[in-house]
Amino acid sequence: MIVEAFLRWVETAKAGDRARAANALGRAYLQSAMSGEERAAAEMAMTFLLDDPSPKVRLALAEAVAWSADAPRTLVLSLAGDQPEVACHAITCSPLLSDGDLVDLAARGSVATRMMIAARASVSRPVSAALAEIGEEEDLLCLLENEGAAIAPYSLKRIAERQGDRPEVRDLLLERTDLPADARQLLAQHVSVALVSLPFAQAVVGEQRLQSVVREAAEAAVVSIAGDIPSRDIPDLVEHLRKSGRMTPSFLMHVLCSGKVEVFACAIVDLTGCDERRVRSILATGRMHAVRALYESAGLTREISTIFVEATFLWREASRRPSETILSNVCGHLLDLFRDRRTSHGAVQELLDMVERLHLAEQRQTARGYAQLTCLAAA
C-alpha cells in the first residue's frame, strides 16, 4: 500500500521532491528490513522511476543504489545505459557489472562512457582489450593512467598502433616497463612520421635529407630497443620488423656491427626458416662458404652477402677482445677492407655508406667520453 501511494504521489510531485524520494527509496531498499513482498514492490517502484523525465530523479536513484552488490542488477544495467551524468555512478562503482556488460557498454557508448569504464578501480584485461580496440585518445589516456587497470602486452601494442601518434599517449606508453619491444618500435616509427611531416624541418633540412636522417634515427632506435629487451621478446620484435618491411640489409648490418648477436641470429632464423641451433653454430664457427650460403638463403644478394660474411668474421674476432668496442672495431675494419673496392652496385654502396656513418658516430661518442673523463680528472 505504501508503494502504491508513492507511485500516485510521484505523478504530481515536483522534480526536486521526486529526486529526494527516489534516493530515500533506494537507501531503504538496501538498508531497511523489508518483507519479500515489500522488496518486490520497492523494486517495481524504482524500475518505474527509470522512466522519470527528470535526470535529477534518475541521478538520485543511481547515487543511492549503484555502489551496492545487493542492488537489483536490471536496475543498475539500465542506469549504466543512461546519459553520462546518471550513468557515471553505475559504470564507475557498481560491482554488478560483468566484463561482458562493460565491453558492451564500451562498444555502444560514447567517449565519456569509455572514460568512466577506464576509470573503474579495477579494469580487467578483456575490458582493457576492448578499450584498446575502439578507444580514442581521451579514454585511452584514462586507461593508461589507471594503476588498477590490467593491460595485456597485445593491448598495449594495439594502443601504440592506433594512437601512438598522440604525444600524451606515447609518453604514457613509454613509461611502462611492460611495454613490448615491437610496440616501442611502433612508437619510434610514429615519431619519425611526425618529424618528416613538420613543415619547418622540411624547409630547413630538405625533404629528401630529412627522410634519410629520420630513417637512420628510427633504425638506431630499434637497434637500441633490441639490445635492451629480454630474450623471450626478441622473436616477436623480429617478426614485427619483417612484417612491417623493416628487416632491411641496413638494419641487419647495424645489429651485427653492434654485436647484438641474439637479435641478429633470431632475424636470420626468421628469414631463412632454418633451425636455430644450426644458425647459431654457423654464425659462431662456420666457414666462409657456409656463412655465405646462410645469408643468401635469407635473401641477401651475392654482393651484399660478401660484406656480411666479412662482418661476421670481424665480429667473431672483436668478441674475443671484450676491452674493445665491437661497433667501432667491426665498422673500421669493414671500411678498410672495402674502401678501395669501387662498385657501381647501389645497394652495396648504400650499405657501406651506412657502416661509415656508424663508425663516425661511434668515434664521436668515444671522443665525448674521453673529453668528459679528461675534464673530471683535471677538476
Tens digits of residue pLDDT in 67-102: 999 999 999 999 999 999 999 999 999 999 999 999
Q: pLDDT at position 1, please?
A: 52
pLDDT tens for each residue of 247-275: 888 888 888 888 788 889 999 999 999 99
Q: Quote the CA–CA distance of 254 and 337 in Å, as a whole number.
A: 17
Over residues 284-311, the mean pLDDT reads: 91
Q: How far apart, in Å, do the first and last CA atoms of the chain sit?
A: 92
For the residues 188-209, what does the mean pLDDT come to? 58
Q: Using CA atoms, how far apart are residues 317 and 69, in angstroms rounded to an integer? A: 68
Number of folded domains that form the chain: 2
In a shared domain, residues 252 and 377: yes
- Structural domain includes residue 60: no
Domain end residue (candidates: 230, 246, 262): 246
Together in a domain, 189 and 286: no
| Residue 324 within any structural domain of the chain | yes
Are residues 367 and 323 both part of a single domain? yes
Domain of residue 186, residue span: 180-246
Provide the pLDDT for residue 233: 82
Query: How does the average pLDDT of the chain come out, rounded?
Result: 83
Joined together, the cell numbers standing for residue 27 give: 537507501
Residues 310 and 356 in one domain: yes
Tell me what pLDDT residue 130 has: 95
pLDDT higher than threshold 70 for residue 377: no
User: Judging by beta carbons within 10 Å of its beta carbon (0-12, 13-18, 19+), is residue 347 exposed, middle or buried?
Assistant: middle
End-of-domain residue from the set 227, 246, 265 = 246
| Residue with the three cell numbers 638506431 | 220
Q: Are residues 269 and 237 in the same domain?
A: no
**Does 318 reside within a domain?**
yes
Higher pLDDT, residue 214 or 146: 146
CA 289 to chain centre: 41
Q: Tell me, yes or no, whether 378 lies in a domain.
A: yes
* pTM more than 0.85: no
Q: Give the residue with greater pLDDT, 335 vs 271.
A: 271
Q: Are residues 278 and 206 in the same domain?
A: no
Q: Read off the pLDDT of each residue in 223-229 and give the average, rounded to a whole number.
A: 70
Is 90 exceeded by the pLDDT of residue 372? no
Average pLDDT estimate for 353-358: 80
Please indicate, yes or no, if residue 174 is contained in any of the structural domains. no
Q: Which residue has the cell 505523478?
A: 11
Helices 125-134 & 99-108 angle (0-180, nearest 10): 10
Distances, alpha carbon 159 to alpha carbons 51, 99, 230, in Å: 38, 20, 22
Which tops the pLDDT comparison, 152 or 342? 152
- Higher pLDDT: 242 or 128? It is 128
Q: What 3-state DSSP class applies to 244?
A: coil
Backbone angles phi, psi at 325, to 5 degrees: -80, 120
Examine the domain organization and report whether 187 and 291 are in the same domain.
Answer: no
pLDDT over threshold 60, residue 310: yes
Strand partners, 123: 149
**Same structural domain for residues 200 and 276?**
no
Nearest-angstrom CA–CA distance, 178 and 156: 9
**Mean pLDDT along residues 123-135:** 95
Mean pLDDT of 157-163: 91
For residue 109, give the amino acid letter: G
- Give SS3 for 123: strand
Q: What is the mean pLDDT of residues 50-68?
A: 93
Mean per-residue pLDDT for 169-177?
A: 90
Give the domain-ending residue among 226, 246, 266: 246
Pick from 343, 311, 307, 309: which is nearest to 326 by CA? 311
Which stretch of 160-164, 217-221, 356-360 has the lowest confidence by average pLDDT?
217-221
Residue 11 neighbours by CB distance under 10 Å: 7
User: How far is 42 from 379, CA to CA, in rounded Å?
Assistant: 82
285 lies in a domain?
yes
Same domain for 240 and 251 = no
pLDDT for the residue numbered 201: 47
Residues 235 and 252 in one domain: no
pLDDT at residue 210 tops 60: no
Please check whether residue 82 lies inside any domain of the structure.
no
| Mean pLDDT of all residues in 54-63 | 94
Return the number of other C-beta atoms located less than 10 Å from residue 311's C-beta: 24
pLDDT at 151: 95
Q: How far, in Å, CA of 214 to CA of 203, rounded?
A: 15
Highest mean pLDDT among 40-54, 116-130, 360-374: 116-130
Does residue 312 sit in the same domain as residue 352? Answer: yes
Answer for the pair 123, 148: CB distance below 8 angstroms, yes or no. Answer: yes
Give the whole-angstrom CA distance, residue 256 versus residue 262: 10
Residue 217, pLDDT > 70, answer no
Kindly state whether residues 282 and 206 are assigned to the same domain.
no
Q: What percentage of the chain carries pLDDT values higher than 70?
A: 81
What is the structure's pLDDT at 3? 66
Count of positions (residues) in the chain: 379
Q: Nearest CA to 259 among 214, 324, 204, 199?
A: 324
pLDDT higher at 347 or 256: 256
Nearest partner of 161 among 146, 179, 149, judged by Cα: 179
Residue 9 lies in a domain: no
Class of residue 159 by CB neighbours under 10 A (exposed 0-12, middle 13-18, buried 19+): buried
CA distance 313 to 306: 11
What's residue 56's pLDDT? Answer: 94
